[in-house]
Amino acid sequence: MRPSFNRNLMATAALAVVCLGSAQADTGKLLLTGGVSTIDGAAGGGLTPWAVIGTNATDGQTGFTAAATRVTTTDYGLSIAGAAVGINDRLELSVARQDLDTGITGTGLGLPGLHLRQSILGAKVKLFGEAVLDSFNWKPQISVGVEFKSLDSTGLDGTLAALGANKTGTDVYISATKLFLAQGILVNGTLRATKANQNGLLGFGATLGGARDSYQVMPEVSVAWLLSRNVAIGAEYRAMPNNLQDAGRAAGLGEGLRSSDWKDLFIAWAPTKNVSLTLAYVDLGLIAPATTNSRSQTGAYLSAQFAY
């Protein structure tokens, strides 16, 4: 992806957000039923998208969200800025910019303090169902989405090329969200077709040593319980592909590039109609264990979202 596009990506999204906010301020869903901003920019939980269309906009309205997220684990720090537009509660367009600070983990490669930056453009379309209006029957809301991901050039380019990993990739997913409003419980299931290594921050696929370089369908699950009209707690699970494991073995790293599934426990609070805060404990398992002495990457997730 061209540097000029990366620099202007979030600025363009922010400008669109301001313009849309001026045009469509009178929007309104039930608190937290539009989800929060995921790490990839789409509406859902923190780690996985839901079938809901983000923002506070309902039928006939246009709304927007802007979010800032920070994830800190044992060895890494991930900063994310994102924005999304929701149109007619049918179409969602999103953008996210991720910056992974690898800290001292790159010292063995001569790359201490390496930053891995990724840009993500997303689109989600609701196929059928209404999470709130259908909350008293069996029908879930179903949506399909796509995410286009691109890594910036870094000192890791040569390593990824040697492993046979690409720097760009596309995820496609389908999500089903069921809200049991009377019980205050939301359940979401997502199936994602992806080649992404660590969500794309370590490239896409691999070919070295006969590693798998094809799409895999990975399950993702979210459960949330509304404790009150503006507070929810829940948990998420997101399965991750292991494309780099065989490539790492072929490169003499043993299990040094093996990945793990991601999990979290969260609490989300909406103090007002337009603001939500999410705090979570995250367990991202192994991320490039060859550089971290196989330490599990656990830590904290904090996100603030502004929705209109």
Q: How far apart are CA 65 and CA 32, in angstroms?
A: 13
Q: Which fold has domain 3-307?
A: Porin (2.40.160)
Residues 108-114: what's their mean pLDDT?
82
β-partners of residue 235 are: 223, 265
The yes-or-no verdict on residue 239 having pLDDT over 50 is yes
**Bigger pLDDT: 8 or 109?**
109
Q: What share of the chain is helix, strand, coil (3-state, %, to 5)?
A: 15, 45, 40
For residue 74, give the nearest of 304, 283, 308 by alpha carbon: 283
This prediction has a pTM of 0.89
CA 8 to each of CA 5, 35, 65, 144, 150: distance values in angstroms, whole numbers, following the listed order: 5, 26, 18, 27, 14
Mean predicted lDDT score pLDDT of the chain: 89
Evaluated on CA atoms 237, 284, 274, 49, the torsion sign reads: negative
Q: Say yes or no to pLDDT of 28 above 70.
A: no
Residue 157 has pLDDT above 60, yes or no: yes
Task: Collect all residues with Cβ–Cβ distance below 8 Å to 279 and sequence separation of at least 6.
Answer: 266, 267, 300, 301, 302
pLDDT band for 20, please (50, 70, 90 cuts). very low
Does 45 score more than 90 pLDDT?
Answer: yes
